[in-house]
Structure 1
Amino acid sequence: MYLLTQKKIATLTIVAGFCVIIWNAFSDDYGHSEITSDCNVTSEYLNNLEKLLEKVHTILDSHKLKHILCYNTLWGQIRISNFLPWTKKADLCIFKSQLDRINEGLLYGSFQRKFLRLRYFSANGYFIVKDIYSSKPFVQIYVFAKDEEQQMFKRVGWKRGLLPPNCEWTQSLECFPANLIVDPLPVQRLGANAYPVPMGGIEIQKYHYADSWWKKPKVMCT
């Protein structure tokens, strides 16, 4: 019995190690670390980003797709009610259960009619939205699915499917409690516009930035 248990532990260790290797080999193309910040971007860049985010928000609203500010864009809203001055992209979070109910072709068509390119990255479970005439700035839309048993939302994507499913075992699932997404969602200002945000203000950041949410970012600009 003892030997059998040891074999199970060894097998689980090997599987976990394999998952970690795969995870590191295929890390997100666009990170959202908040501990450090890059050099400030121009006011023109931020103005273009603000316009792009408003277009994306309007399209998602037209399809009745629930979405929230999240990650670094939510930090900007919380701290200064605007984009952080070094922001190169806008972050939104959206929910798989609603995406599954809409016509994918109609959604892509809505973006195309606004001269926007929508692309989905299945490995990491997010969309990238760009103007068809420019690669920057861009909006990154992270897709979350609700785990009914754990009552948590967690990131989708086949890469995360290789990881243990329990939110307590790995931060890479980027879980947060389902009770932070309750209708009607609060609406807060970000620049000249207003957007839905999760319940509890900073609470979601305590999950997405468990080791740094209380810190101020270090500016790494040379």
Structure 2
Amino acid sequence: MNLSRVSVRRQCRSWSQRRRLVYLLVCLMLVILTVKFILQQQHNITHEQPSCIVPKEQRQVLYSLLSMVSAILSKLSITHFLCFDSLWGAVQESGPLPWDAHAHLCALNEKVAIHDEAELLRAFRRQGLALEYSSAEGQYTIRNKSSLPVEFEAPTVRVVLFEEDERVFMFRRVGWRRRVLPPDCDAHPSLQCFPPNLAAAPLPSRPFGPLTMPAPREDIDLLKFHYPTTWWRPLQPSC
């Protein structure tokens, strides 16, 4: 009986020790997995963050392109000004948003319409720039013909055209996709309407990196029309 009891005690003690050992191994594995997960997350953040920042070389190409585009538009007496994300950048950063490789300008279609397409093309080609027009979107896309290194996305300047609709006394975006819509700015946000006084001459200027660019008369007011549901908070990167 005594030997049997001793044997049982030894077995219980042995089983208890093995159980504690298993618990320790499980805990150790959980700690290792947790540390590995944390390190992996830090690695991802470290490697993803730079992709949201436009390199200096690419930024300089954008400044040069934007300066040439603005100079050409001014020479052609085409009213233009910062808008959309570039206007947000001017307000928030006094330049482009850190992750934005492109620039947005708005222009008055009545000033563009006095020039035929061939004249516009020649004006930009003389400066080594390519000009493309989307009749659906009512937007010119302008880029430098000289290519950047393959690791860089080629910057563009997008010039969005607006014209006044006398039925609602508002500027609305041109383009055949919007022509079919009735002049109801509240019912059709894609018209991207804004009041004419925001584009009334003379336009003020705003710093935009090393450049000084024309801006709307009330920048925050225009942002309210561009971003009616989010204008009160800064834009966040989409990368």
Alignment partner for residue 72 of structure 1, among 85, 93, 107?
85
Distance 1:123 1:89, change over 3 A: same
Query: What is the SS of the residue equivalent to 2:159?
Result: strand
Cα distance in 1 between the residues matched to 2:154 and 2:63: 12
User: Deviations along 1:7-44, whole A, 9 cap, x unmatched?
Assistant: xxxxxxxxxxxxxxxxxxxxxxxxxxxxxxx7111111
Q: Is the counterpart of residue 47 in structure 1 residue 65 in structure 2? A: no
CA-to-partner distance for each residue in 1:131-179, whole Å, 9 max, x for gaps?
1123711110001010122111111101112222211211110000111
1:202 offset after TM fit, Å? 0.9
1:167-182 matches, within 5 Å, as: 167-182=185-200
Q: Secondary structure at the match of 1:120?
A: strand
Is the contact made by 1:46 and 1:87 (CA closer than 8 Å) also made in structure 2?
no
Instruction: Indicate whether 1:127 and 2:140 are aligned.
Output: yes
Quote the residue 2:229 is aligned against: 211
Identity %: 38
CA deviations on 1:28-78 (whole Å, 9 max, x unpaired) are: xxxxxxxxxx71111111111011000000110111111010001111111
| Residue 70 of structure 2 corresponds to residue 57 of structure 1 | yes
Q: Which has more strand, going by share of residues?
A: 1
TM-score, structure 1 normalization: 0.79
| Partners of 2:113 and 2:173 in 1: CA distance | 15
Of the two, which has the highest radius of gyration?
2
Q: Distance in 2 between matches of 1:41 and 1:107?
A: 30
Of the three residues 95, 106, 117, the one matched with 2:119 is 106
Check whether the contact 1:68–1:195 (CA below 8 A) recurs between aligned residues.
Answer: yes
**Structure 2 residue aligned with 1:140, among 154, 158, 163?**
158
Moved >3 Å (runs of 4+): 218-221
- Number of aligned positions between the proteins: 184
SS of match in other structure, 2:52:
coil
In the TM superposition, what are the counterparts of 1:5-44 in structure 2 within 5 Å? 39-44=52-57
Unpaired runs of at least 5, structure 2: 1-50, 148-152
Counterpart check, 1:158 vs 2:206: no
Q: Is the 8 A contact 1:68 1:94 kept in 2?
A: yes
Relative contact order (alpha carbons < 8 A, sep ≥ 6): 1 or 2 greater?
Answer: 1
What is the CA RMSD across the aligned residues, in angstroms? 1.4
Other structure's SS at 2:163 match? strand
